[in-house]
Structure 1
Amino acid sequence: MKRPGLPASLWALLAGNFVIGTGVMVVPGTLNELSTSLQVSAATAGQLITAAAAVVCFGAPLLAAVVAGWDRRLLLACTMLWYAAGHLAATLMPSFGGLVAVRMLTVISPAIFTPQAAACVGLLVPLEQRGRAVTFVFLGWSMASVLGLPLGTLIGGHFGWRTAFVAIAVLSVLSAVWIWRQLPTGIRPPALTRAAWAQVLRSPLLMGVVAVTALQGSGQFVLFSYFAPVLRETVGADATSLGLVWGWFGVCGLLGNMLVSRSIDRVGAPRMVLVTTSLIALSLLLWPLGVTLAGLALILVPWGLGCFATNSAQQARLVSMAPALAPGSVALNSSGIYVGQAVGAAAGGWLLAHDAIAWMSWAGFAMLVCALLLSLAVDRAQARSAAFSA
């Protein structure tokens, strides 16, 4: 029996996540150019990721409360316009310090857009389509890795990072227009009360899932943040070959997210989290064997398949565990993603600054193993809770 199609408004949300993801990942993609242009080390330039991630980490749950009553059509369209303004302002910054300040203001947009887009999906589709719809909207991040990140890397490598930022600003304006035209008015997920927020924060199961997300992100961003300088040093990658590597990684990411989107309602989100996290861990385990660009491309396949898919599965997992608390839990999960980015980028920057590139993959692998163990513990605790309730 053919499944009913998803509403057209979800395509606009997917496109918004594409632009958000491209803007977030443009820093790792142009890290070499940022470092050279602003006359700072690659490790220092990488702290742009840490600073921005810290803002999103704390901003996502706080802003979820602030914008709770907003019409989502207006909120999400204005968020994309803010993103455009921030990227344009960044191109005017003559120093690294100024760029850090502007970047921290710019990433207010990801702090709002991704969790609020996911939270309003439940009001756009019936209950039985929620898992599929959430993962569909999150495909935008995978598409950002397939198209946005490699194109940003190529533009930045050949025309400068400022040109890449201008391109993102233009895409942000187009996304705002699309959202305004496609999203219906009156979409207002119910605001969480103080008691509901307390329920989210006091739930060991929900917070356990968020902690898994943070560990996943930390393990990946130890190395992911510094692909550009690491691949330049280890295999001599230039801007073109780096763009091809990012593109290959993104193709794998898109494929992984598509597979998860099609099968998550049948397989179950918890099991999908275990599979995707294991794939990422496998690539980090094999990373030291990649002594050529072609070898690293093969090693990146499992990582790409799991990278964005595991975030989609985590979002769907939280929505299914407590649909009424989804606005809060999904916002906290976004915080978890960016906690991971901040911790991973900071740890990776420290290792890079201390000439310990060889340890990056091992540090990331250890964090992914911790994420797997914690995810298993959450699943078992949830199963015991369900059995007790029955």
Structure 2
Amino acid sequence: MTTTLSTTGASSAALPRALWALMVGNFVIGTGVMVVPGTLNDISASLGVSIPQAGQLITAAAILMGLGAPAFATLVAGWDRRRLLTLSLLWYAALMGICALAPTYGALLPLRVLAVISPAIFTPQAAACVGLLVPPAQRGRAITFVFLGWSVASVMGMPLSAWIGNELGWRWAFGLVALMSLGSAAWVWRDMPDGIKPAALSRQAWGRALSSPALMMAVGVTLLSAFGQFTLFSYLAPYFAQTLGAGGSALATMFLWFGAFGLVGNVVVTRFIDRIGAPAAVLITLGFIALSLLLWPLGRHAFWAMGLVVIPWALGCFSCNSAQQARLVHISPELASATVALNTSAMYGGQALGAALGGVMIAQGQMLRLHEVGLAVMLLAMGLSLWAERAQKRS
């Protein structure tokens, strides 16, 4: 089965149908991850907790996803990916549905942590499958296509969650993710072929990945990028409410605007990454994010101005991680399962750090300075990305 898929891919520019199922799966996963930032105001109000405390749902979930991605990569090494990815989506459906029924914040927090076991498995394992579904010449395009689902989630999932949270309550938004997970599980089961089993990760493979300066610095770029962005991104809903007086409809509109440009950025990177190279794509997208954070204060006093300021950030936000995944696979295709898992861990770890730091700053009355920390960390990420590229050329 694997040989047939690779041969077919080599003779045609069309991507396999299975990649569409994986892309939609990432859309559902991304929507479920971002449902908390989108409904943070309603969660805080309905459960009687502060914004920083509600933000701990983001931090705790990101910690589990960060630690779980590499751990699960080892535990599920021998699993057929059709069954693994389908089961992970069914788990997501069940736990998101139970989260929607949680009576208190104390009940919701552990349930949310259990739910995000699915993102810790699905996203890295879907990316690790790509090398067995397409030939090397299509690998960069295929990986960025699979991660297009996260950009689509930002276009549709996060604004829809914000709107539903305002109109019906956060529980309905969680319930919607549960229903979408069921549909996505059926799609993956139908289109994912049997027999897709990336090579098991041995101790030697992990050792090679962890001892490679180029790989580890590239993973560090992901950590810093997520850290810098989520210091502010986790709290966009309360930030816009405080500075612009944005209610549910306005928040949904801003998130939709952000997501639309996020989708455009990922589509452009998907089209050109194999021409310009993944390191260049990463640096460009990081630069776009840093530009928005630099200009951030200009958008505080007018909704339209903020809409302009977020455009560069949106263009770079999701496309940056797609380019990072492609970069790691290109550096060492045989270690893709390990490096994609580590990169996913770094992404979620950075989210946890950013959400935690942002919560501490808000508790100290420093919400209007979140972008300053984000900008400083993004500049560090750009410097490390250049260093990683030099290390790769030397190796």
Q: Specify every segment of 5 or more residues in structure 1 that has no aligned partner in the other structure, as ranges.
A: 386-390
Equivalent pair of 2:85/2:188 in contact (CA under 8 Å): yes
Matches within 5 A, 1:274-353: 274-290=283-299, 291-353=301-363
Name the residue aligned to 1:21: 30
- In the alignment, does 2:116 pair up with 1:107? yes
- In the alignment, does 2:104 pair up with 1:95? yes
Deviations 1:273-312 (A, max 9, x none): 0000000000001001112111111000000000000000
Matched letter for residue 241 of structure 1: A
- In the alignment, does 2:381 pair up with 1:371? yes
How far does residue 192 in structure 1 lie from its aligned partner after superposition? 1.3
Name the residue aligned to 1:39: 48
Equivalent pair of 2:331/2:392 in contact (CA under 8 Å): no
Give the 3-state SS of the residue equivalent to 1:334 in structure 2.
Answer: helix
Name the residue aligned to 1:388: none
Deviations 1:309-351 (A, max 9, x none): 0000000000000000000000000000011100000011111
For residues 130 and 325 of structure 1, the distance between their equivalents in structure 2, rounded to whole angstroms, comes to 14
Name the residue aligned to 1:150: 159
Matched letter for residue 250 of structure 2: S
Give the 3-state SS of the residue equivalent to 2:261 in structure 1.
Answer: helix
Name the residue aligned to 2:193: 184
How far does residue 202 in structure 1 lie from its aligned partner after superposition? 1.2
How far does residue 205 in structure 1 lie from its aligned partner after superposition? 1.1
Deviations 1:20-72 (A, max 9, x none): 00000000000000000110011110110000000011100000000011000
Matches within 5 A, 1:106-125: 106-125=115-134
How far does residue 204 in structure 1 lie from its aligned partner after superposition? 1.3
How far does residue 98 in structure 1 lie from its aligned partner after superposition? 1.1
Number of aligned residues: 384
Give the 3-state SS of the residue equivalent to 1:270 in structure 2.
Answer: helix
Q: 2:368 aligns with which of 345, 358, 368?
A: 358
Matched letter for residue 311 of structure 1: N
Give the 3-state SS of the residue equivalent to 1:46 in structure 2.
Answer: helix
How large is the RMSD of aligned CA atoms in angstroms?
Answer: 0.9
For residues 305 and 97 of structure 1, the distance between their equivalents in structure 2, rounded to whole angstroms, comes to 37
For residues 89 and 245 of structure 1, the distance between their equivalents in structure 2, rounded to whole angstroms, comes to 29
Matched letter for residue 295 of structure 1: A
Equivalent pair of 2:37/2:237 in contact (CA under 8 Å): yes
- In the alignment, does 2:266 pair up with 1:249? no
Give the 3-state SS of the residue equivalent to 2:147 in structure 1.
Answer: helix
Deviations 1:133-180 (A, max 9, x none): 000000000000001111111111100000000100000000000000
Deviations 1:214-235 (A, max 9, x none): 0000100011000111100000
Runs of 4 or more off by more than 3 Å in structure 1? none
Name the residue aligned to 2:212: 203
How far does residue 384 in structure 1 lie from its aligned partner after superposition? 2.3
TM-score with structure 2 length normalisation?
0.96
How far does residue 212 in structure 1 lie from its aligned partner after superposition? 0.5
Name the residue aligned to 2:3: none
Matched letter for residue 360 of structure 1: L
Give the 3-state SS of the residue equivalent to 2:65 in structure 1.
Answer: helix
Matched letter for residue 338 of structure 1: Y
Name the residue aligned to 2:282: 273
How far does residue 3 in structure 1 lie from its aligned partner after superposition? 6.7
For residues 348 and 89 of structure 2, the distance between their equivalents in structure 1, rounded to whole angstroms, comes to 19
Name the residue aligned to 1:69: 78
For residues 371 and 160 of structure 1, the distance between their equivalents in structure 2, rounded to whole angstroms, comes to 37
Give the 3-state SS of the residue equivalent to 2:132 in structure 1.
Answer: coil
Q: Percent identity?
A: 57
For residues 93 and 392 of structure 2, the distance between their equivalents in structure 1, rounded to whole angstroms, comes to 42
Give the 3-state SS of the residue equivalent to 1:83 in structure 2.
Answer: helix
Give the 3-state SS of the residue equivalent to 2:360 in structure 1.
Answer: helix
For residues 48 and 337 of structure 2, the distance between their equivalents in structure 1, rounded to whole angstroms, comes to 41
Give the 3-state SS of the residue equivalent to 1:377 in structure 2.
Answer: helix
Name the residue aligned to 1:171: 180
